[in-house]
Amino acid sequence: MRKNTNWPATALIALGSILILFPLYMTVGIALKNPEEMAQSIFSLPTGLHFENFSNAIKATDFFHALQNSAVITIVSVGCILLTNSLVSYAIARNMNRRFFKLLYLYFVSAMFIPFQIIMLPVVKVTTALSMNNIPGLILLYIVYGLPFNVFVYVGYIRSIPLELEEAATVDGTSTWGTFWKIIFPLLGPISATIIILSSLSTWNDFLLPLILLADPSQYTLPLVQYVFQGQFSTDFNLAFASYLLALLPMIIVYLSAQKWIISGITQGAIK
Amino acid sequence: MAKRRIAYYLMTIPALLLFFAFHTFPALQGIFYSFTNWDGFSDGYSFVGLKNFINVFKDENVYNAYFFTFKYAIAATILINVISLLIALGLNAKIKAKNFFRSVYFLPNVLGVLIVGYIFNYLFSNAFTIWGEKLGSGFLSQNILGNPDWAWVGIVIVGVWQGIAYNTILYLAGLQTIPADLYEASSLDGASKWREFWSITFPMLAPFFTINMVLAMKGGLMIFDQIVALTGGGPGRSTQSIAHLIYTGGFTGGEFAYQSANAVIYFIVIVAISLFQIKVLQRREMDL
C-alpha cells in the first residue's frame, strides 16, 4: 500500500526550510557584496562577486593561522579521546563486578551533571599555575572533559560485546593491552564514529574554554578570532561576513560530504 | 591473572588522576573559595563564612540573571520541542526530496553558535528592521535586541533556529521506530489523523520526548555564546544569563569568590531541575 506524495506536507517543509536557509543566503550574499551594492539592497543577489572581501578577511584575521590552530586542537583532541577514553571504558566495562571500577564508572558518569560554570573560574587558576594556558593544555582538558559522556557511551557498547572473543585471545597468551588493541578496539568502529563526530563538532565550535584558557593571541581558534575582531568588523559588514563565512565553511564542507554519516552518528549518540 | 588486574588499573588510574586534577579539584576549589572573599588576583583572602551566599540571595543582578535564564530556557525548550516535532512529522510523511530537506534542517547544528549569533545580530539590526519599515510598523522597524523588554525574544529566535536541528533528528529517529501496522490498524478503525497522533505517535515518542526536553532545558540554562554574540547581556542587564554573569563578574569584576558562590547555587539548581525533569517525564512515560 504505497501512498502518493503528500503535497501539503512537502509545501510546508519547503517553506520551513526557507527560514533555515535565509540567514545563510544573507551571509553568502553580504560576504560577496561591496558597500555600494549593500546601499542599494542588502537582500538582493550579489552582482559584482567581490571576492576581495575574502582575501581581506584572510589577511585581517590571519585566517589560515586560526584555521590551523582549530584543526590541530580538534584533530589531536579527538584522536586522543578515541584512543584513551575507549581504553578506560574497556577496563571499566570488564570489571564492573569490582567495587573500584564500579565506583569509577559512577564517578565519571555523575560528573555529566556538573555545569562547566562551577569549574570555570578555578580551572583557569589551576592551568595558569601549571603553565597550561595554551594549546596543549586546552587539548588535555578536552580529552579529560570528554570522559564522562564517552565512558558512559563506550561502557554500554563494550558490555554488549561477548566475552568469548577475548577469552580465546587470553588462552593464546595475548596480554590485556593486546586484547584491547587487536580485538576490542576494531569492534568499536560504529560507536567510535559517533564519538568522533560529536567530539569534533563540540571541540571545533567551542568558544568558552578557548576564551578563558588561551593567553597568547597567536593560539586563538576560529570562533575566538571572530570574537576578537568583532570590534574592528563593526564598520565593515562585508569584511565581517566574509570572515564568518570562512569560519563556517570548513564545517559546512565536512557536513555536506559526510552528512549521512554525521546524522546517523549523532542519532546513535543520543539514543544510547 | 595478577598481571591482568594490574593492566586494568594502569588503564584507568591515569584517567582518574587527570580527571580529579582538572575537573573535581577545580570544582572543590570553587566551593572552597565561595566561603572566602578572594577577588581572583590578590595574594591574600580571608574566610567570610556564608556571607557570599547571603549576598547572592540579596543581589538584584543575580535575580535578574535567573529570571532571564529561566524565561529563555522555558520558552526555547517549549518552542524547540513543538517546532521540531512538527518538522519531524513533516519529514516522516511521504514528501518529495526528503533527504535534501533533512540535510537542510540539520545544517544549523554543525555551525558555531557564536558565529551564528553574529550573523543574526546583523540581521536583527539591519535586515529585519527594513521589513518592519515596509510594514509601516514602528515596533518592527526597530532592532529588537536594542529593546530591554523584547531583546530576550530575539535571543529565543536564534536559540530556536539553531536548536530545532538536533531535536528534529531525534524525533525523526523516534518516528521511525513506530511500527507501521499500528497506523494500519488505526486507519482500519477509522481513527482521525488527530486521534492517531495523540493515541499512537505521541505515546510511542515518549522516551524521545523525555530526552529532548531534558537536553533542550539543560542547553537553555547554560546559555552563554548567544549572549556574547547578540547582546553582551544588554540593554542594561536585561539579557544577562547566569553563565554570563559568572563569567563577567568572576573574570573581570574581581568577584571570584562571590561568583563562585553564585556558581555553587547554580550547580544545585541545574542538578535539581535535571533530576526533577527526568523523574516527572519518566513517570509520564510509564503512565502512557
Predicted pLDDT at B66: 93
What mean pLDDT value characterizes chain A?
A: 86
Cell of A122: 578555578
CB half-sphere exposure, B162, CA atoms < 13 A: 22
- Contact flag A121-B251 (C-beta cutoff 8 Å): yes
The residues near A64 (Cβ < 8 Å, ≥ 6 apart) are: A58
pLDDT, mean of residues A185-214: 90
The predicted model gives A78-91 an average pLDDT of 93
Cross-chain CB nearest to B263 (options A24, A117, A124) = A117
Alpha carbon of A180 to those of A71, A185, A204: distances in Å?
Answer: 28, 6, 29
Q: What is the CATH T-level fold of the domain B24-287, as seen in this structure? A: MetI-like fold (1.10.3720)
pLDDT at A238 over 80: yes
CA neighbor of B54 nearest in space, from B272, B273, B262: B262
A15 touches chain B (CB under 8 A): no
Output the nine-digit C-alpha cell for A119. Answer: 569549574
Q: For the CA atoms of A190, A193, A194, A198, what is the dihedral angle to 10 degrees?
A: 170
Task: Check CB contact of A13 with chain B, cutoff 8 Å.
Answer: yes
Task: Look at B11 and A90 and tell me if their CB atoms are within 8 Å.
Answer: yes
The cell for A66 is 586560526
C-alpha distance from B241 to closest chain A C-alpha (Å): 12
- Stretch (H or E) spanning B72: helix B60-92
B36 three-state secondary structure: strand
Interface membership of B193 toward A (CB under 8 Å): no
* H-state helical runs in chain A: 7-32, 35-40, 52-61, 63-93, 99-110, 117-129, 135-158, 164-171, 176-179, 185-187, 189-205, 208-213, 222-233, 237-271
Q: Does B274 touch chain A (CB under 8 A)?
A: yes
| Peptide linkage before B235 cis (omega within 30 of 0) | yes
Å between B266 CA and nearest CA of chain A: 8
The pLDDT of residue B144 is 81
Taking CB atoms and an 8 Å cutoff, what residues of chain B touch A127? 22
Tell me the C-alpha distance between B17 and A73, whole Å: 22
Residue of A nearest to B274 (CA): A113
Q: How confident is the model at residue A139 (pLDDT cuts 50, 70, 90)?
A: very high
pLDDT at B76: 94
Are B112 and A120 a contacting pair at CB < 8 A?
Answer: no
Query: Which residue ranges make up each domain of chain A?
Result: 1-50, 63-269
Q: Is B177 in the A-facing interface, judged by CB distances under 8 Å?
A: no
Kindly report the CATH number that applies to the domain delimited by A63-269: 1.10.3720.10
Q: Give how far Cα B126 sits from Cα of A78, A95, A233, A239, Å.
A: 39, 59, 15, 16
Q: Which helix (H) or strand (E) holds A218?
A: none
Residue A230 contacts B, CB cutoff 8 Å:
yes
Mean pLDDT score, A64-88: 93
Write the ipTM.
0.87
Contacts of A222 (CB under 8 A, 6+ apart): A66, A67, A69, A70, A204, A247, A250, B112
Between A51 and A227, residue with greater pLDDT: A227
**Confidence class for position A1, pLDDT limits 50, 70, 90:** very low
Please give chain B's pLDDT, 288 residues, in tens.
677 788 888 888 999 999 999 999 999 988 998 898 888 777 778 788 888 898 888 888 899 999 999 999 999 999 999 999 999 988 888 888 888 898 899 999 989 899 999 999 888 888 888 887 777 777 777 888 888 888 999 999 999 999 999 899 888 888 888 888 888 887 787 778 788 888 888 888 888 888 888 888 888 998 999 999 888 887 888 899 999 999 998 888 788 888 999 999 998 988 888 888 778 777 766 665
Q: Is B188 on the interface with A (CB under 8 A)?
A: no
Which whole number is the average pLDDT over A236-245?
86
Interchain proximity B247–A120, CB inside 8 Å = yes
A196 touching B (Cβ < 8 Å): no
Return the closest-CA partner of residue A118 out of B228, B67, B243: B243
The residues facing B36 across adjacent strands are B47
For residue B101, the distance in angstroms to the closest alpha carbon of chain A comes to: 7
Q: Is the pLDDT of residue A226 over 70?
A: yes
Interface probe, candidates A117, A243, A267, chain B, greatest B C-beta count within 10 A = A117
- Is B35 an interface residue toward A (CB < 8 Å)? no
Of B8, B27, B259, the CB nearest to A114: B27
d(CA B88, CA B209): 12
Q: 3-state DSSP: chain A helix, strand, coil percent, rounded to 5?
A: 80, 0, 20
A233 pLDDT above the threshold of 70: no
**Positive or negative CA dihedral for A230, A233, A239, A241?**
positive
Contact status, residue A120 vs residue A145, Cβ threshold 8 Å: no
Q: Which residues pair with B47 in a beta bridge?
A: B36
Q: Are B229 and A207 in contact (CB under 8 A)?
A: no
